[in-house]
Amino acid sequence: MTTAGDVRAPRRARAGSVRRAATDRGAASLWLLAVGLVVVAVGVAGAAVGAARVARHEARVAADLGALAGAALAVEGEQVACDRAAQIVAANGGQVAECAVEELDVVLTVSVTVEPMPGLPRVATSSARAGPVATKRD
């Protein structure tokens, strides 16, 4: 038991912890900030790659559907077939870059504009060919 006149010195552990806090210069905060920035940068890069992949798939789908729609009208001429293909491509968010009818096949190139990062527009392109199935006769 202690008496009123008994004054004890502070423990060394407390004095040591005070000294440790005085030498701490915020290194843990800087490391946490650096790790956080790396995580954000990886997330932004992943989102940009994902947006580019989605645009490529959109271009591929628009080209496939447009070529099929144009092939259905290829017997009516290149203008009619390409106009119909352009309608389908536009409905799927793309633009026709090239369209040609070779015999009864419609060959279509489609582009889709994507902005994976703000202020950085890119163009994804895809081509498709559609027409009747060629059969071999012996």
Angle among Cα 112, 90, 130 to the nearest 5 degrees reads: 85
Please list, in sequence order, all residues whose beta carbon lies within 8 angstroms of the beta carbon of residue 75, skipping any fewer than 6 positions away: 104
Q: What is the full DSSP assignment across 27-61?
A: HHHHHHHHHHHHHHHHHHHHHHHHHHHHHHHHHHH
What are the tokens at 53? 């992949």
Tell me what pLDDT residue 43 has. 94
In a domain, 78, yes or no: yes
Distance CA 86, CA 108 (A): 9
Tell me what pLDDT residue 23 has. 62
Tell me what pLDDT residue 1 has. 57
Number of domains in the chain: 1
In a domain, 14, yes or no: no
In a domain, 116, yes or no: yes
Tell me what pLDDT residue 28 has. 85
- pLDDT-flagged residues of the chain (< 50): none
Tell me what pLDDT residue 8 has. 65
Give kind and range of the element (H or E) at residue 76.
Answer: none
Distance CA 53, CA 45 (A): 12
Residue 107, number of CB atoms within 10 A of its CB: 19
Tell me what pLDDT residue 34 has. 94
Give the DSSP letter of residue 74.
G
In a domain, 2, yes or no: no
pTM of the predicted protein model: 0.68
In a domain, 71, yes or no: yes
Domain holding 80, by residue range, is 24-130
Please list, in sequence order, all residues whose beta carbon lies within 8 angstroms of the beta carbon of residue 31, skipping any fewer than 6 positions away: none
Tell me what pLDDT residue 80 has. 93
Tell me what pLDDT residue 117 has. 81
